[in-house]
Every structure is written in structure tokens, then in C-alpha cells.
Structure 1
Amino acid sequence: MDWLERFNAALDYIEHHLEGEIEYSALARATCCSEFHFSRMFSSITGIPLSEYIRRRRLTKAAVDIQAGDARILDIALKYGYDSPDAFTRAFRKLHGVAPNAVRENSVQLKAYPRISFQITIKGDVEMDYRMENIDFEVRFAGKRHTVKTSRAFKTIPSLWRKGKTDGFMQALIDMSWEHPKCKLESLVGVCGKEAAIMDEEFDYFMGIRYDDEIPEGMEELIIPPCTYAVFPNVVEAWKRLYSEWLPASGYELANLPCIEHYLGPGHKVKHELWVPVIGK
């Protein structure tokens, strides 16, 4: 239960600092893992990015403060980290559907997002297949990157591959693959993030192929240093269970490198894999 206690301690820290600066490094120290690990595990378990949870909690508290007294809207905005009343009003209206100055009127409907707490639930009755792969050399990819909103990644990324299939980009990558096999990353890949730091509302998604020759015109290169990976079949299922089930019991934590979605070619029993960079705790 250590991980459960650590993550609840991190949520305590967030609650105590809603009126000030929240340091992601402090969250990492509280959970004894990297900033990226905490952010991705939080998002996987709760279904919302960490930054969005903090924003909702602050605006929930701000609405309570406005209702509770006669404090100026500007003072409340500054209290919860907004530099201007305009920025606060836009964020407040986006969440609550009304402007801050309307809150003190009667019969105004608001949204309250309560504090999250992590509790034990019974999971793990379905086994997770995985294998370990040690890549002891730099892996060089050729391809293109796209900006993806974190909250819509599971919808946006499949649409990027569908578009790549219709416009010929996917076939171009396939034609470049399997020329000089060096490891098992020889099929289409989607590299998630630049440095495995998906802590913002958007991240870069690199669609490409392992490639050692001259980068074709219109593409760019991406180089990933040597690393050990835990490899799981079925990308979507692996993303769902990785942070809440496998990592807490694995003896590993995420390395500060991107995860890789690996889409295998015809003839493979498994259609796609998730390669997760890990280091021992």
C-alpha cells in the first residue's frame, strides 16, 4: 500500500498549495517517482490530466470564496494563480458557465469538483502479458511529428494513422522499413512525447520508422538513447492498465524517455505493442 499512501500524500500537497505555486518536483518527491510517472499514472487512473484537475480544484474553491463574502474578484483571481481578471473570467466561465461577478446572484448554478483520493479496489484478476527488451544502442527514427491534445489522444492518434494511410505517408514509411534489421522495433512506431514529459495539455506525437539512412525530404529524425523497455501487447489495453496495475507492483518506474507505440506488420500474431521505458527503483 506504499504507493497508495504516497499518492494521497501528493494530493494533500496539492490541496495545501491551491492558493500558491504547485511544484511538480514536490509531487515527484512525495510519490518517490519521476514527475512524468506521477503525471501519467494520475491521468490514467482519474481520466483527466493533472493540470486540469488542479485547474478545476482552484476554480471550485474560487467559486466558494466568491459566494462566501465581499472579497474583490481581482483578489480572488490572484489568490488562485491568475495574473489578470480577464484570464480568470475566461477560465471561470469555461468551467462554471457564468462569469465570476454573477456568482453572488441568487439561483446561479455552479460546478463543484471535489478533491480526489486514491483507494484500494480489487484489480489484477486478469493477467498482463509483457516481456523485457534491452536496446543497448541509439535508435534513430525518420518520420513526422504532430501536436496532440492530451485529453483527446486516444481519439486523435488513430485519426492521424487513418489520414497517413489515405495520403500515402504510411506506405512511404512501410517502404522504408525492414531494410537493415537491428532490433524488434522494425515496424511503424508512434513515439509519445519528446522527453516523456506529458505534463501539459498537449504533446508531440512522432509517426515514423526506425531508419539509419539519409532522412527523406519532408521528414525529420528522432533519436532515442539506449534503454530497457517493458513491452506489452495491445496498445489501448496496456495504456489503461499500465499505471494503475503493472507499475505499482513491478519494481520499476518510468525512465525519462518516451513511450513507443509499435504497430507490427502482416503475419504477426500481435498487431501492436506498447514499449515503456523503465529503470529499476
Structure 2
Amino acid sequence: MESLEKKNAVARMVNYIEEHINEPITLNMLAKEAQYSVWYSARIFKEIIGKSPFDYIRVARLSKAALKLRDKENRITDVAFDFVFDSHEGFTRAFSKQFGITPSNYCNKQPLIKFFIPNNIRGNYLKFERGVNIMSENQSANTVFVQVVDRPERKVILKRGIKATHYFEYCEEVGCEVWDVLCGIKEALYEPIGMWLPKSLQKVSTSEYCQGVEVPITYSGEIPEGFDLIELQPCKMMVFQGNPYDDENFGEEIGKLWDTMKKYDPKVYGFQWADEETPRFQLAPMGYRGYIEARPVRQLNL
């Protein structure tokens, strides 16, 4: 249970950072949210996130600033002050160190850069709406969190493959830079995902597996070259989340979760699989939060 308490404490700190990203944030403020001492709060943050609180805040602010700079109407100085940098010069140094390009050159050229997208801890899944909590953590190392969440009507910007049925085949077909393009779409509702498309959403001679990012149903912005935009109907997703793991063991952890999903009977909780209605998807494997995958379900009329 100690591990769960630490994750919840770090979750509160991450949520606080996200909500106050445009304001000064001190370690005392974070410790108050964590409900631990300043020293212990900083320690467990680094343990679970892999970054110190201030490193996390810095890269989160810089990435959000980069997204704002994609809109050329935003002045660099204004963006710097918006994200609590004391000067244009200090912002330029930090931005250049993080991304290898100055803010002014980035504004002019808008190259692909690798954004840091903060992720809340233990099942927040960015902005997923909370649903039915089916299972919770216990002392077993093999425990999987399972939760049903509601997804709104939305669109998804995606890059199709050719014959890919999983991530590695997909990267061989289209390359791995797709993720960086998706991370740069500022109107995104959630973080990018890998998807297994139902037959109804596949085009002829294109793959089952692809990558994309969901945007509002009202989205009418630019579609990157070679990408498609499709609509997804409201649905329920059963989200599976494994335990935290060492990053180098991601393949083994994905296999464990897949074994659990294969054996899982949603009817026990009043649902059935609905794979033909909307994509099953996976989030990027990140050891601190456990591997996360979601499969569509519909509620049974009992």
C-alpha cells in the first residue's frame, strides 16, 4: 500500500503543476499538495517520475511554450513571461538547450521537435472522463487496474501503415517520426496513441495498426501531409493499466497485460467487447505509470 500512497502523492503534485504551470511554483507548495515533508516529496517525485520537480516543471513549461510559438501571433517575450521566465534571454537559453534551436528560429521554421507531454499518475490518462472503477490495486505484483471510461464524440488525426499489425511493423513501414508530428498538434485532446482500427475504419490496402491523436469534433485545422482525419463516435473504453516497471522491461510488461486482457471477461461487470465500433488503443509505454491499453466495450442490458 505504501507504493500506492506515494503514487497518489506524486499525482497530486503533478496535478498541481499542470493547474499552476503559468504561475510560480515552489517545493513548499508541492509538499503541501503531497502532504509530506519538502525533502520526502522531492525524493518520491524523482523516484516515480524520473525527474526532479524543477526539471519536470522546466521541460513542461518549455514544451507548452513551444506549442504556443507555433501560432505566429504570439510574441516570444510574451510567451516567455507567460511561462514564468524572467527574461527573453533566459527563455532563449533554456529553449535552445532543451530543443537545440532558438525560439526565433523555431517560430520561423517550425521543425519537428520532441515535446515533453506531462502525464498524470495512476490512471488519470490525461483528460479521460472518470467512469466505473472495476478493480483496484492490492499487494499482488500482477494486479492490473481496470476502469471503464466514457469517450466523447471526437476526430482523430492518423497516419496509416500498409500491413502493420503492431508497433514494430508500423515503424518499419512508415518510420518513427510520426509520433513527433502528433505531439506537435496543439489542439490534441489527449496524448498520441497507437491504434488497432476496426475493419470499418481501415482503407483498402492499409494497415490495422496505426498511430494518431484525438482532437475535438469541431476541429477544422491543418492535416499534416500524408495523414487522414476521421470521426469517432461516443463510446465506452475499458482501460487496463499494469504496475510500474523498469523501462527496459516494457516488452515483457506489455505481454503480461495482453495475457490478462485475453482472459478477462467483461460480462462479469455488465459489459461486452465492442471491437467493431471504435479503435482499441495503447499509450506510449512509460515505466513509472505502468503499461496502459484500452479496448472498446458496450454495456449489456441486464
Structure with higher Rg: it is 1
The answer to which structure, 1 or 2, has the higher relative contact order (CA under 8 A, 6+ apart) is 1
**Pairwise same-fold verdict (TM > 0.5):** no
TM-score range, shorter chain: 0.3 to 0.5
